[in-house]
Structure 1
Amino acid sequence: MSESSRIAGPDGLRADARRNRERILVAARAVFAEHGIDAPMATVARRAGVGVATLYRRFPTRDALVRAAFARQMEICARALTEALADPDPWRGFQRLVETACALQWEERGFPAAFVAAYPDSTADHARDREQAERDFMTLVRRAQAAGALRADFHPSDIAVALLSHGGLVTALPRDREASRRLVAYLLQSFRAEAAHGALPPPSALPLRSLPLAADGSQRRRP
Structure 2
Amino acid sequence: MSTQPATSRADALRDGLVAAARELFSGRGLTVTQAQVAARAGTGVASLYRRFGTKDDLILGAYRDALALGPETAHQAAEKESAWSGLVHFVTASADVLAGDRGLRELVLGGFGAPLGWSRGSGPTELARVLRDTDALVVARLEPVVRRAQADGDLRPDVGVTDVQLVTAMVQAGATLGGPTVPGLHRRAVGLVLDGLRGRRDGPTPLPVPAMTLQELREVTARAAHP
In the TM superposition, 1:95-174 aligns within 5 A as 95-118=88-111, 119=116, 120-122=124-126, 126=130, 130-171=135-176, 172-174=178-180
Q: Which has the higher contact order (CA 8 A, sep 6+)?
A: 1
The Cα shift of 1:92 comes to 0.8
> Normalising to structure 2: TM-score of the pair?
0.66
Q: Decide which of 171, 176, 185 is 1:179's aligned counterpart.
A: 185
Q: Structure 1 vs Structure 2: percent identity of aligned residues?
A: 28
Q: Decide which of 179, 191, 198 is 1:192's aligned counterpart.
A: 198
Determine if contact 2:19/2:62 at 8 Å carries over to the other structure.
Answer: yes
> Normalising to structure 1: TM-score of the pair?
0.67
The Cα shift of 1:96 comes to 0.4
Q: Which runs of 5+ in 1 are unaligned?
A: 9-13, 196-223
Question: Considering only CA atoms, is the larger Rg found in Structure 1 or Structure 2?
Answer: 2
Determine if contact 1:32/1:39 at 8 Å carries over to the other structure.
Answer: yes
In the TM superposition, 1:1-223 aligns within 5 A as 1-4=1-4, 6=5, 8=7, 14=8, 16-33=9-26, 35-118=28-111, 119=116, 120-122=124-126, 126=130, 130-171=135-176, 172-174=178-180, 176-194=182-200
Determine if contact 2:57/2:127 at 8 Å carries over to the other structure.
Answer: no
The Cα shift of 1:97 comes to 0.8
Instruction: Write the distance in 2 (CA, Å) between the matches of 1:88 and 1:121.
Output: 39
Aligned residues: 188
- 1:70 is paired with a residue of what secondary structure? helix
Determine if contact 2:99/2:105 at 8 Å carries over to the other structure.
Answer: no
Deviates more, 1:124-133 or 1:99-108: 124-133
Report the RMSD for the aligned CA atoms in angstroms.
3.1
Instruction: Write the distance in 2 (CA, Å) between the matches of 1:133 and 1:159.
Output: 9
